[in-house]
Amino acid sequence: MAVGGGARPVGLAGVLKAQTGIEGLDEVTDGGLPRARTTLLCGGPGCGKTLLSLQFLVRGALDDGEPGVFVAFEESAAELTQNVVSLGWDLDDLQQRGLLAIDHIRIAEGRIQETGDWDLDGLFIRLGSAIDSVGAKRVVLDTVEVLFGALGNEAVLRRELRRLFRWLNDRGMTAIVTGERGEGTLSRHGLEEYVSDCVILLDHRVRDQISTRRLRVIKYRGSHHGPDEYPFLIDRSGFSVLPVSSMGLAHAASRERVSTGVSQLDAMFDGGGVYRGTSVLVSGTAGSGKTTLAARFLEAGCERGERGLLLAFEESPAQIIRNMASVGIDLQRQLDAGVLRICAARPAAYGLETHLARVDQAIEQFAPMNIVIDPLSSLDGEDYELKSVLSRLVDQCKSGGITAVMTTLVSGRIEGAGGLGISSLIDSWIDVSNVELDGERNRAINVLKSRGMGHSNQVREFLITSDGVQIRDVYAGERVVLMGSARRSQEARDRAAATKQAVALESQRRRLAQRRAALEAQIAALRAQLEAETIELSSEIDAAERRELQVDQDRTSLAAARRDLGDAPGGAIDKATG
Amino acid sequence: MTAVPGSDQVGEADRFMLRLYVAGQTPKSLAAFANLRKICETHLAGRYEIEVIDLLERPQLARGDEIVAIPTLVRKLPQPITKVIGDLSDTERVLVGLQLIAKAGAQR
């Protein structure tokens, strides 16, 4: 109790807490409101003080077995009961079951005459008997400041309120006291001076005609608490503060791939599509096919049996269904099958935080595997605000393993989307752009980035036909990139040129054959000539040789003849005669 | 404490039905009762009736007259109902609260 406020870790003594059961609030307060202490809940009119405190009692009664007392200074029990019927809370039933006591204290208009000293024992007694009637553990006083209007002696009233809060704490009551926000003070009558354990401020601001609700824990003695302003939402399921449990960066990283629904596009992502649970941005100029691409992604998911959620900020569901049907994407079938849900709202209908809170709620309720936000760029807000909202959304999807595809409109080239400052938040970025050439516009698609995988660096042509989405290689050659009919005509020209070339080649081939034939004929003729000449010459050579041999023989026989006549050895004679 | 009847010489329309809410016999309560008796005897002699309700004994009665502060004096009759809180030590204010005199001093 002696520990100062601020964001320090849970004190050594450890502040005991009573969980509120309000989505997100227990996270922000690190477990709930301080047990057996009084919490001041302040805010302007209509910002949800009554609802939050009533929900605290209802959840306490139903979830934690802690009955509660609601002291209403402004609304009657019947009014309160009526107001929360739409939230599914049956206050009559809770009262009959002894889980809730509502005491409406009507303070008359106008000032009551005062003479001399008084105290608030009347209130103490009423409160005490209400607490005893249900064995209450939780008490709400909404809003005790009304007393300031009715009872003039402020000094006495302050003393009595201080005594009241102490008395509640002594009785072990976890209490909420509501207070109207004042000019420059948290509550009009400075209740924060008496309630020093926990102060929560609700804010309901309107900017550009759009209301945004936020909650901030201003102080929480002895306990850690979230220091920021958190958006909250009041809707059919009551009060919810945007969960912040996923604010860390500790998401599991799946290796599983998810198809984009377009096989050629999957191929550009290293052949297998994007990682499950990542965020994909599809940026593009007007009419470049962002919605179609995103819708196809959802449809493909639905076909695999994965639930898809489409959050549309520009078109009505009927319009989206019709438009997508015209390009062969049958969303109606998936809606009928219950695997697709479309939530459409005008961006201007709520503030950014409210949109986020609604997205959050839709995710919670429908538990989709894939979501599409179309388009992100129509959400209006300050840059820093947009970025914070987006980062929370991305965090939330990641912690839930949800693959998110967000479209964003960029004017001109992609630098526009970079200016959004969101590049760092997203894992894969597909850019679709219109390329104007030769009097027509064509769609070009490329993958700007994809974390954790090699991806294509090629610009491809993106075709939207009545049969769906297709991606074609563009004509890339001769230092130009061509698409559409330019690509087709270039391809035709290329084909003609190729044919021409083939013909030329053929004729050259023929010429070569002819030349070869001619030369070969020549070779044959020369060879024949050579042959003839060879024959002629060799017969002459033969004759000459024969002649020479004859001469030799003649000479030999002449020599022999001479030896016979003279001193020739006998051997020689033998040889010659033999 | 029980009701203290005044005399009944006057018509019903002029009768003052007063209720004093207290919580136990505290000095404030006792002072308030004494002060009220004195004022009534002085200004309403014979045409008043005081009922003292101790909320410690009958807490459920606090609801009926929307009692928050103690002591509270409630003028039940004549209509309309008016309330005065405190120990009733300032006679003039009590008279104003009971609408026996106009807001003469126009005290807040």
- Sheet containing A198-207: order of strands: A100-104, A68-72, A138-142, A174-180, A38-43, A198-207, A210-220, A229-235, A238-241
* A334 and A223 belong to one structural domain: no
User: Which pTM was predicted?
Assistant: 0.61
Residue A569 lies in a domain: no
Mutant choice from B22, B26, B85, B87 vs A, greatest count of A C-beta within 10 A: B85
Asked if B93 and A103 come within 8 Å (Cβ–Cβ), the reply is no
Instruction: Give yes or no for A561 touching B (CB within 8 A).
Output: no
* A318 and A169 belong to one structural domain: no
What is the reported pLDDT for A417? 46
* Element housing A443 (H / E): strand A440-450
Asked if B89 and A116 come within 8 Å (Cβ–Cβ), the reply is yes
User: Which member of B59, B71, B87 has the closest CB to residue A125?
Assistant: B59
Instruction: Give yes or no for A120 touching B (CB within 8 A).
Output: yes
* A236 and A265 belong to one structural domain: no
Q: What is the 3-state secondary structure (H, E, C) of A60-120?
A: HHHHCCCCEEEEECCCCHHHHHHHHHCCCCCHHHHHHCCCEEEEECCCCCCCCEEECCCEC
Residue A515 lies in a domain: no
Question: In this prediction, what percent of chain A has a pLDDT beyond 90?
Answer: 20
- Lowest-confidence segment of A441-445, A486-490, B8-12, B71-75 by average pLDDT: B8-12
What is the reported pLDDT for A368? 92
Asked if A122 and B31 come within 8 Å (Cβ–Cβ), the reply is no
What is the reported pLDDT for A515? 93
User: Which member of A113, A118, A126 has the closest CB to residue B93?
Assistant: A113
* A213 and A286 belong to one structural domain: no
* A325 and A456 belong to one structural domain: yes
Mutant choice from B26, B53, B68 vs A, greatest count of A C-beta within 10 A: B68
Asked if A118 and B21 come within 8 Å (Cβ–Cβ), the reply is no
- pLDDT in 10s for each residue of chain B, 108 residues: 444 454 444 455 678 888 999 988 888 888 888 888 888 888 888 888 888 989 888 888 877 888 888 898 888 888 788 888 888 888 888 888 877 776 544 444
Distance CA(B70)–CA(B49), nearest Å, equals 20
Instruction: Give yes or no for A205 touching B (CB within 8 A).
Output: no
- Owner of token pair 């009347």: A122
Residue A185 lies in a domain: yes
Distance CA(A476)–CA(A493), nearest Å, equals 14
Instruction: Give yes or no for A77 touching B (CB within 8 A).
Output: no
Instruction: Give yes or no for A112 touching B (CB within 8 A).
Output: yes
Per-residue pLDDT tens over the stretch A30-89 = 888 888 888 999 888 878 888 889 999 998 988 888 999 999 988 888 888 888 888 888
Taking CA–CA distances from B91, the nearest residue in chain A reads A115
In angstroms, what separates the C-alpha of A189 from chain B's closest C-alpha?
A: 19
Q: Are A172 and A36 in contact (CB under 8 A)?
A: yes
What is the end-to-end Cα distance of chain A in Å, rounded? 154
Residue A420 has pLDDT above 80, yes or no: no
CATH number of the domain residue A116 falls in: 3.40.50.300
- In 3D space, the residue among A266, A250, A297, A298 whose CA is nearest the CA of residue A450 turns out to be A266
Residue A556 lies in a domain: no
Asked if B28 and A129 come within 8 Å (Cβ–Cβ), the reply is no
State which of A241, A268, A291 marks the end of a domain.
A241
Burial A554-564 (b: 16+ CB within 10 A, else e): eeeeeebeeee
Query: Which residue range is the domain that position A220 belongs to?
Result: 17-241
User: Which member of B56, B60, B94 has the closest CB to residue A115?
Assistant: B94
Q: What is the DSSP letter of B23?
A: S
In angstroms, what separates the C-alpha of B24 from chain A's closest C-alpha?
A: 10
**Single-letter amino acid code for the residue at B24:** G
* A157 and A271 belong to one structural domain: no
Sign of CA dihedral A21, A24, A28, A31: positive
Sign of CA dihedral B47, B51, B71, A117: positive
Residue A506 lies in a domain: no
Instruction: Give yes or no for A118 touching B (CB within 8 A).
Output: yes
* A184 and A233 belong to one structural domain: yes
Residue A49 lies in a domain: yes
Query: How many distinct structural domains can be found in chain A?
Result: 2
At A413, the pLDDT band (50, 70, 90 cuts) reads very low
Taking CA–CA distances from A118, the nearest residue in chain B reads B86
How, if at all, do strands B72-77 and B82-86 pair?
Answer: antiparallel
Q: How many CB atoms lie within 10 A of CB A76?
A: 12
User: Which member of B82, B88, B108 has the closest CB to residue A116?
Assistant: B88
- Residue ranges of chain B whose CB lies within 8 Å of a chain A CB: 21, 23, 28, 31-32, 55-56, 59-60, 62-63, 66-72, 82-90, 93-94, 96-97, 108
Distance CA(A445)–CA(A459), nearest Å, equals 6
Distance CA(A423)–CA(A66), nearest Å, equals 48
Give the list of residues 6+ apart from residue A3 with CB closer than 8 angstroms, or none. Answer: A11, A13, A221, A222
* A235 and A283 belong to one structural domain: no
* A312 and A459 belong to one structural domain: yes
What is the reported pLDDT for B61? 81
Residue A407 lies in a domain: yes
Q: What is the 3-state secondary structure (H, E, C) of A180-232?
A: ECCCCCCCCCCHHHCCCCEEEEEEEEEECCEEEEEEEEEEECCCCCCCCEEEE
Q: What is the CATH number of domain B4-97?
A: 3.40.30.10
* A345 and A320 belong to one structural domain: yes
* ipTM for the whole predicted complex goes beyond 0.90: no
Sign of CA dihedral A349, A354, A356, A357: negative
* A86 and A226 belong to one structural domain: yes
* A148 and A287 belong to one structural domain: no
Question: How many A×B Cβ pairs under 8 Å?
Answer: 95
Per-residue pLDDT tens over the stretch A208-245 = 666 677 888 888 888 878 777 787 777 767 787 765 44
State which of A443, A473, A503 marks the end of a domain.
A473
Q: Where are the domains of chain B?
A: 4-97
Distance CA(A174)–CA(B96), nearest Å, equals 41
* Element housing A257 (H / E): strand A257-258
Q: Are B63 and B26 in contact (CB under 8 A)?
A: no
Give the list of residues 6+ apart from residue A298 with CB closer than 8 angstroms, or none. Answer: A261, A308, A310, A331, A334, A340, A370, A372, A405
